[in-house]
Amino acid sequence: MQPFLKWAGGKRWLFDGAFISALPPYRRYVEPFLGGGAGFFALQPARALLSDLNADLINLYLTVRDHPKALRKLILQYHDLHSREFYYAMRAHKPRSPIKAAARMLYLNRTCWNGLYRLNRHGDFNVPMGTKTAVSLPSDDFDQLSALLTGVELRICDFADTIRTARSGDLLFVDPPYTVKHNMNGFVKYNERIFSWSDQVRLRDALSGAADRGASIILMNAHHDSIRELYSGFGVQTQVLRKSIISGKTDGRSQISELMVWL
């Protein structure tokens, strides 16, 4: 099943048949940087713990799970209302209702530039309107998404709190912001709270503890000397290539090298 969100750095491209068949057996799927949830939707695990520090994102997943019909009704309304004026009015608006806040986030995700989620230092969403005009998609099946998420544990928390729960029988899929030691990667500016190098070190330490407890781990990260050194002696490192989607034109998209660490 395809994710309902478009997410910068998402891993739809990774979860093909060959990759899925190579995964180790597991009883619970754990993802501490949820984003668009490509891994979860590709695997459709019977048990899962999904978390993110982004409260708006987790609220959207909870709304899809618990109020699919109400969400669909609002998305259909926003589809008919979509315009430049409506987009910027919605971008400036902060609904108090959790369901309306979820519908706003999904609307903005589908109509902003390249599906980018970016907050300024005041915590305000500031991505300009993109070229996409479809708010309601033919692929939308909120009832099926709700059924798939039923029973899934969803948390708003720091990655370390989620990783701390991982034990033998768990598969951790970890895809953090790609910050490197000297902050040379532009993605750090797309986060209200910058994911710093000290967070990368905290992540390594948390994963080391999970590995000691017997969890299986797949980590995606920047293919950079500082990251390779950070994970030296930790599992098997593999270079993988993907096509960048953060470009205004298709012909301007290039092959991006990423690091995968298996343990």
- Return the CATH number at 23: 3.40.50.150
0.85 cut: is pTM over it? Answer: yes
Same domain, 184 and 255: yes
Q: What gap in Å lies between CA 33 and CA 24, rounded to an integer?
A: 20
Whether residue 23 is predicted with pLDDT greater than 60 in this model: the reply is: yes
Residue 9 lies in a domain: no
Q: Write out the residue range of the structural domain in which residue 228 sits.
A: 17-53+157-262
Mark which of 110, 145, 180 sits at the end of a domain.
145
Mark which of 113, 145, 177 sits at the end of a domain.
145
**Highest averaged pLDDT of the listed ranges 111-120, 177-186, 211-220:** 211-220
Share of the chain above pLDDT 70, in %: 91
Mean pLDDT in residue range 145-159: 97
Q: What gap in Å lies between CA 155 and CA 49, rounded to an integer?
A: 8
Same domain, 139 and 190: no
Q: What gap in Å lies between CA 186 and CA 166, rounded to an integer?
A: 30
Residue 213 structure tokens: 């407890």
Instruction: Give residue 190's pLDDT.
Output: 38
Residue 73 structure tokens: 């009704």
Same domain, 33 and 67: no
DSSP 236: E
Residue 235 structure tokens: 């599992």
Residue 237 lies in a domain: yes
Dihedral sign, Cα of residue 192, residue 194, residue 195, residue 201: negative
Residue 170 lies in a domain: yes
The lowest-confidence range among 107-111, 171-175, 195-199 is 195-199
Same domain, 70 and 49: no
CB 184 within 8 A of CB 137: no
Whether residue 246 is predicted with pLDDT greater than 70 in this model: the reply is: no
Same domain, 139 and 173: no
- Count other Cβ atoms within 10 Å, centred on residue 183: 13
CB 14 within 8 A of CB 118: no
Report the DSSP beta bridge partners of residue 51.
155
**Highest averaged pLDDT of the listed ranges 71-75, 111-115, 196-200, 237-241:** 71-75
Residue 152 lies in a domain: no
Whether residue 189 is predicted with pLDDT greater than 50 in this model: the reply is: no
Same domain, 172 and 234: yes
Exposure of 187 by Cβ count < 10 A (0-12 exposed, 13-18 middle, 19+ buried)?
Answer: middle
Instruction: Give residue 245's pLDDT.
Output: 54
Residue 43 lies in a domain: yes
Same domain, 174 and 211: yes
How many structural domains compose the chain?
Answer: 2
3-state secondary structure of 129: strand
Q: Dump pLDDT digits (tens) for 7-22.
A: 988 999 999 999 999 9
Residue 6 lies in a domain: no
Q: What is the CATH number of the domain that holds 140?
A: 1.10.1020.10
3-state secondary structure of 10: coil
Nearest Cα to Cα of residue 76 among 68, 84, 66: 68
